[in-house]
Structure 1
Amino acid sequence: MIMAFSTGSVGHPIAAILLLGLAVTASAQLSATFYDASCPSALATIKSAVTAAVNNEPRMGASLLRLHFHDCFVQGCDASVLLNDTASFTGEQTAFPNRNSIRGLNVIDNVKAQVEAVCAQTVSCADILTVAARDSIVALGGPSYTVPLGRRDSTTASLSEANRDLPPPNSDLADLVGNFSRKGLSVTDMVALSGAHTIGQAACLNFRSRIYGDSNIAPAYAASLQANCPQSAPNGDGTLAPLDVSTPNSFDNAYYSNLLSQQGLLHSDQQLFNGGSTDALVNTYSSNAAQFSSDFAAAMVNMGNIGVLTGAQGEIRLNCGKVN
């Protein structure tokens, strides 16, 4: 999940308070029963399509979860990341954190087409992306949770914000805490959401500096990664390695046990267990899978409420890749 470029600035405190107030008001308008009358088959349709995609390629579950994260941290959870570039419009997909690594757009397009077939222009792409992330987690053995619904789709995207606000893989702990805090997420949310790295893969480009430069990495683990990720860039830049070396295709708490053994793939991963303020929480999650599942589910709901558009804001896109 934390595979991005740079952190943002704190901004004006009064503006931040006003924005937080708007976000709270908007999220309060979301409801788990939002489509019960207008599109009662929406959730079942999304779940069926997502489960099929993940069963076909387990890695897709991590890609859809990452897509949701990269959406919510830029302009809020408004499906802005799904907007394709045009001759007159540049979206977020070519931002450094997304370039050559964003996946799952075709799956979301397929889900949207199936939902449109049963309920025309009723279910937003932002809600589809949020539900798809939850259904991906469940398909890989993770916890289920209730998703508040009623998001609307943006008519804009922000390349600059994508480059600024998504935390990079070389982040230190203070950077991570600050980055998540600026989105209204707590330290517990941050550590729990980082557990999404119990699935998925990262490219050599994102962990090369760790395996050749960090001291807090198990020597045998570093050596195993160095075999396919040469120190001389760009050789091997695109070579993939699992974020969770133990159970890469199962959504569990093994990610945290790996950190205890100094086997976090990314620098930002190992920062969660490196003699700092989050060590205790990592210890808890490594030994208490139920606590991790509970905190992760709560954190996903919190993240899904960031900067949502509701009511008459935005639109319901007919095609997730372009505005109406």
Structure 2
Amino acid sequence: MITAPGHAEVQDLPAPIAAPGEVVVDVQRAGICGTDLEFFSGAMAYLHSGHAAYPMRIGHEWMGTVSAVGVGVDPAWIGRRVTGDTMLGCGACRRCDRGRQHVCERRLELGIRGGKPGALAEQVATPARSLHRLPDAVDDARGALVEPGGNAFRAVEGAALRPGDRCLVLGPGTIGLLCALFARAAGAEVHLLARDEVSAAFARTLGFDDVWTEERLPRLPWDAVIEASNSPLLPARALDLVEPGGRTVYIGLAGTPSLIDTRDLALKDVTAVGVLSASPGLAGTIDAYAAGVVDPRPLIAATVTLDELPAILAGARPAGAGRGPKFHVAL
């Protein structure tokens, strides 16, 4: 539980009960991400808009096994390994009817928005309609990386890459690296722009030779640019770099407004795509993981216990942790 900016603790709480239409999942593994760190720091926008409030239980990257079902849910779910959608639409509005529940105005977001408790706990309750079954070929580590993978999957879909296209990814954090992995699987020539040599060096361990810092970035025609950083300056840089007639994909979020000049967008005939959430990309990500087309596991720096998590949220890095950007909790 995060109870205030800069303060997180493990609490004993009543076990969840499956409401009608819900299941209870025994969580086996969950990850933390930049959104969780923003909640810990107090910078997350939802805290200031009223969509979230302390105390809150975080955790929206997870997998586990269904242990109970509520009224109206097929009992065949019990015992199945699953992950689930973070975005829980109301199910009754025009957006939900059109399959856009991830932008439903009244949506809850598991562990993020509307007070829906997250999955950094031994158990989590979630609607059965949000579940995605995990095949045996997707182990627990990959299962807990389906949600971030789904975001990257959608970003690469938005880039509309063809084999041989040259794609530049700005920001090799978890999402940026996953974008690079999916773009490579699509047959693109993938380059990454890193903030510094430390992040560049880790990206190279994943088999990406063309990793640059700003001062070394070559002048090349970029068919697509995926902006996956938290820099307020890089969205405009993406538009500056992309080839006329190309595509820019915006999946990174800065803490302050990040502006682009729409004159450049129009005069270069660029297609700009914004991506919110993994929802439409979860099934495709599971398929890619199961087929071995993309393996996200090298991004995991360490797998820790729930008791160790508050220190990690505060910036600690446990002894023996790898260089990857992702931490997992085993429950």
TM-score, shorter chain, exceeding 0.5? no
Higher strand fraction: Structure 1 or Structure 2? Answer: 2
Higher helix fraction: Structure 1 or Structure 2? Answer: 1
Identify the TM-score tier after normalising by the shorter chain. Answer: under 0.3
TM-score by length of 2: 0.27
